Structure 1
Amino acid sequence: MSGPPAPGQQPSPQQLAAIQQQIAAEAQRRGMTPQQLQAQQRQQIQAEADKAGMTFDQYINKLKQQAFENHQRQQQMAQQQTQNQAAQPQEQPQMQGQQGQQVPITPGAPDPRALALAKWLKGQDLKPRTCILNGQRKDMFRVKRALRAIDSPAYTKARSKNPLLPEITATAPKAEIFKLLPLSLLALRVSKSDPHEGHGHVPSKPQKRVKGLWTVKIEQQQDINDDLHYVWLYEGPQWRTKLYAVGALILIMTVVMFPLWPITLRIGVWYLSMGFLGLIGLFFAMAIFRLILFCATVFTVPPGLWLYPNLFEDVGFFDSFRPVWGWQEVSPPFSLCFHLVPEAVRLIAIDDQDKKAKKAKKSKKGESGENAGAKSIEASAFTNGTGTTNGQVSKRHAHAAPRVEEVEDE
């Protein structure tokens, strides 16, 4: 049977036919015609409208509104009964489960208590870590930290201010309270997974893995255990994101409408941009100068001197310029090399000096040998008085002196 039409909505032909049949049956029961019954009902409605201080049309609209609300209420009650009947077969196996056995959690509609619990837990220090779920970064936490937070005095204090937070009782321990999160799809259990699992191939390029960053997948069994990991699907109120979006839109519109700015503001922006460009140029000049200074001092005064050693370190702005200068920090093998460089240079210089001294000594001995050979030739020529003997002797003595020097050199 179709319900009454909504206020302001014309009844359908089927509804009109049903209404006319009801009026005809009621008129026949009272021994009247349908026109007489309608006139009588109109007089009664007019009398009730006069008592309520309303016109006939206003009173009719009020009756239609009440009938529509009653119809909607009946439909909601019927839907709730249908849902309860569908949930009873699922609850029955849970009641028959053995004591201590993990019971699967079936997610359902969001619960205001679960939303309050998620909002409170998001503000606690659960030591979350970042993970990758379906290509998106999410916050992951361990179950034992959430249970520890629920069992803490801070939760009791927060519950006194927010009655929506569930109370810890004998029938509803902290594990049952935590179940509200997966039941409302605010946090789900995940496990570590391989992004190439099930593809049947090896990736062509090994992807660089970030230390401590897991790629996870949602588990079908939403159990509760201290060592399990859950990922947050609840992102909290989005007013901050909306505020950032509005601010970005205002900033873009301001930049786009730059030609409409007053001339004084445009001149000020020009000077400000020139100042920023000057600072950037000064920064690059300082970076180049400190590199040249380090290259100049790494060999003269090892291990080298840095101007503003923390300039490119992961520190704050002011800490980047403290201290003003510092020595290069090197590991023990490299520091040993830096200390050995000047010693090696000194040994090379000494070796060059020794070679030069040996060459000078060799040249002096060669000159002295040639002088001694010439004197011996003259003496033999004077004694024998023959040119042939003098020639043979001169050749023998001419080659004797260098041989003696070569042996001494070796």
Structure 2
Amino acid sequence: MKNTSAFTLNPRRTTLVEECYALLYDAIESGRWKDAIPSERDLCAEMDVSRPTLRAALLKLEAEGILSKQGLRRRTVSRTSKAKPRKQNIVCLLSPIEISSMQEHDLIWLNELRMLLGNSNYVLRVLVRPGIFTKQTNRVMEVISQDTVTACWILYRSNLALQKWFLKNDKASQVVVVGSTHPGIELSSVDMDHRAVCRHAATMLMRLNHHRICYIGSSKKHAGDLCSEEGFLDAFSRVKGDEFTPLFAHHDGSVDVIVRTLDGILNMARRPTAFVVANSNHVLTIMTHLACRGWIAGRDYALLARDYAPFYEHLVPSIACYSNTPKSSAKEVARIIISHAKGITNEIITKRTIPDLIRGDSLCSIATQ
């Protein structure tokens, strides 16, 4: 499996050799390698490039006196080099997971963002650092910020501690949150309006005569999840009386726990007849397990997914969901990044989009059951 934790390349206006050179230069300048650089094999694996491409970039660094070659293979950082710092043209995305573990929708978004930034001569670099999403956030971020030369940061699946670190260290004008910000955190962010979406979802299901509606989401709540639950509850607060009941089922994302959670729901004396599912990856687990128990979406219960996923198009029955195109989201993120990186504005920019509802066959009214 390729190592995507340090460099991610997809050249647009510059050549691949030039991008390799730029990334190596910035890594050396930031002090990532104090003495010798890694072997060609390791660098090729980390940067996902061929040896001829890598060697062309290394030869350019040698010609500028930044690297010196010792023997046949070993290259060391020249201690006499006085190379001037390059203009910062790297945008770093901080992620707790490898690219290979991202959802398909997010991969499409990432590729579109890389292209848009490349068109403005910025290179997108993905840093996979699970440590910044734990209790070690402050310590790990201090090291990363000192070793990384970047024009702007992107926070992917960020938690409260990470958002607080950027705010506390006066880096609000150098970061964009992909997702929602936590209460009290003023950072630029782009996300769909989870509160409005889940309010609409619950309201629509009540109009379809579902009296007990269950929201299924992760117990590890991001800011968007908190907004989703608030919007879900808000829909019920607008209905007079106690005819409709909101329910919540939380899990850790693992199949075993989701299955146990569903079994607990099925054992209720009064089962819910509709579900709002927060994570697209969990839709398949929920539908298949309930089908094994004899419950079919669109016939025995209604299912509405908060997020869209391309694989929905291959499921039967078709999934009712909210679709926010990754290209439009990437365009908004790129616009804010370029504005911050070029100093066009230091203002906090918050963009919340309203996705389209796709009415799939997983929706049904209580009368049809």
- TM-score bracket for the superposition, by shorter chain length: under 0.3
- Structure with more relative contact order (C-alpha pairs < 8 Å, separation 6 or more): 2
More strand by share: 2
Using structure 1 for the length normalisation, give the TM-score: 0.20
More helix by share: 1
Larger radius of gyration: 1
Using structure 2 for the length normalisation, give the TM-score: 0.21
